[in-house]
């Protein structure tokens, strides 16, 4: 068999495979069965040709072509699995809460965030301990702005402006959360972002809760109560998931660094998606319920209590590790 003849003989099949993989690549709906059978037959033939290229003594150019052809067809044959929705219910309602419940990184993030938040809040509230603390963190202008904002509060009650604010909150807050998650890969920048947010928020809270803030204080409490639980939890979840990934390539638990990173990233993604959902819920509440000036405070309190209860059910009831080894004797 001459090489030239061999190439001439096989080329039509190669070209057919090339054309089929191009056609199947752009197609959204399912290809018809005959075409798929034909495709796989051609693919196997091309694979065999490539495997035997050395025995055939094919020139490098042809071998190169075959590599590309097989590669391209391989990508069509083993297509991406996209998002498998069936397995998601199990993942959302069983695996993820258990994972969150058990995760030391999320516990660390919780302690870090709330610790800094409360310390900054107290320092800012009680101006005698560290005079000028809140001014140093937020700046005098910032504090004034904050006070002005909440003094004349409750004006924008139109549904249009509320939707706009909801969109703004989702974009802004979820972006902060996700960037915190991403920065945590390098641990230190992530911790800086998380700590900054905790201290800043704590300071603003402490400042606005002071007696001298007057009407602004009342309005502020009225505003933040309803959406607080979801939003603060979401920040912690995003940061915790990021910290998990960041630590995975330092503490590898017997794997090599790359594999440890891959494995942990896969585990952490549901947690950060959970955070995104919480950010969206928080933004809905923040956009539509929180700004209601005439809505009684106890009503917003109820929203906060209900959302906290939902979080509790999700993290503790669903997350309580039923089959956790040693879970019963752990004294929970």
Residue from the set 130, 163, 309, 316 that interacts with other proteins by CB under 8 A? 163
Segment contacting other proteins (CB under 8 A): 11-19, 101-109, 228-236, 309-317? 11-19
C-alpha 111: how far from chain center: 20
Asked if 36 touches other proteins (CB under 8 A), the answer is no
Asked if 86 touches other proteins (CB under 8 A), the answer is no
Cα(108)–Cα(213) distance, integer angstroms: 33
Q: How far is the CB of 87 from other proteins (least distance, A)?
A: 11
Residue number, 6 or 118, with CB nearest to other proteins = 6
| DSSP class of 213 | G
Q: Which residues contact 289 (CB under 8 A, 6 or more apart)?
A: 226, 227, 295, 300, 303
Residue from the set 115, 139, 167, 296 that interacts with other proteins by CB under 8 A? 167
198-257 residues near other proteins, rule: CB under 8 A: 245
Instruction: State both tokens at 212.
Output: 């001298």
**Are 50 and 63 spatial neighbours (Cβ–Cβ below 8 Å)?**
yes
**Are 149 and 255 spatial neighbours (Cβ–Cβ below 8 Å)?**
no
Closest CA relative to residue 38, chosen from 7, 79, 76, 82: 76
Residue from the set 48, 310, 312, 316 that interacts with other proteins by CB under 8 A? 48
Cα(211)–Cα(41) distance, integer angstroms: 79
H helix or E strand, kind and range, residue 167 = helix 159-183
> What is the total residue count of the chain?
332
Residue from the set 16, 31, 36, 56 that interacts with other proteins by CB under 8 A? 56
Residue number, 4 or 322, with CB nearest to other proteins = 4
Asked if 41 touches other proteins (CB under 8 A), the answer is yes
Instruction: State both tokens at 310.
Output: 């939902």
94-153 residues near other proteins, rule: CB under 8 A: none
291-330 residues near other proteins, rule: CB under 8 A: none
Q: How far is the CB of 109 from other proteins (least distance, A)?
A: 17
| DSSP class of 211 | G
Asked if 90 touches other proteins (CB under 8 A), the answer is no
Residue from the set 136, 149, 186, 188 that interacts with other proteins by CB under 8 A? 186
Residue from the set 29, 32, 61, 325 that interacts with other proteins by CB under 8 A? 61
Residue number, 59 or 327, with CB nearest to other proteins = 59
247-286 residues near other proteins, rule: CB under 8 A: 258, 261-262, 265-266, 269, 272-273
Q: How far is the CB of 21 from other proteins (least distance, A)?
A: 10
Residue keyed to tokens 């495979």: 17
Q: Which residues contact 14 (CB under 8 A, 6 or more apart)?
A: 46, 49, 65, 66, 69
């Amino acid at each position: 068999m001459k090489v030239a003849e061999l190439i001439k003989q096989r080329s039509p099949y190669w070209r057919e495979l090339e054309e089929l993989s191009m056609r199947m690549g752009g197609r959204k709906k399912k290809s018809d069965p005959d075409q798929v059978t034909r495709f796989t037959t051609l693919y196997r033939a091309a694979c065999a040709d490539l495997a035997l290229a050395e025995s055939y003594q094919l020139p490098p150019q042809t071998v190169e072509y075959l590599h590309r052809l097989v590669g391209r067809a391989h990508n069509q044959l083993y297509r991406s699995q996209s998002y498998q929705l069936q397995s998601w219910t199990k993942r959302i309602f069983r695996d993820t809460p258990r994972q969150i419940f058990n995760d030391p990184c999320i516990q660390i993030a919780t302690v870090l965030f709330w610790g800094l938040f409360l310390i900054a809040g107290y320092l800012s509230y009680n101006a005698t301990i560290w005079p000028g603390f809140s001014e140093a963190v937020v700046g005098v202008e910032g504090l004034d702005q904050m006070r002005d904002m909440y003094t004349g509060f409750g004006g924008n009650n139109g549904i249009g402006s509320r939707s706009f604010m909801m969109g703004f909150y989702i974009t802004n807050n979820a972006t902060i959360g996700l960037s915190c998650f991403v920065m945590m890969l390098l641990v230190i920048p992530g911790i800086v972002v998380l700590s900054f947010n905790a201290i800043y928020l704590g300071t603003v809270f402490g400042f606005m809760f002071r007696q001298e803030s007057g009407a602004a204080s009342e309005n502020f409490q009225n505003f933040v109560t309803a959406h607080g639980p979801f939003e603060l939890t979401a920040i912690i979840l995003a940061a915790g998931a990021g910290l998990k990934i960041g630590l995975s390539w330092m503490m590898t638990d017997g794997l090599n660094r790359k594999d440890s990173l891959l494995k942990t990233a896969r585990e952490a993604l549901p947690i950060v998606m959970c955070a995104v959902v919480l950010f969206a819920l928080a933004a809905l509440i923040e956009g539509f319920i929180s700004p209601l000036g005439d809505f009684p405070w106890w009503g917003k309190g109820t929203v906060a209590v209900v959302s906290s209860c939902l979080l509790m059910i999700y993290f503790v009831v669903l997350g309580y590790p039923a089959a956790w080894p040693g879970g019963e004797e752990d004294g929970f």
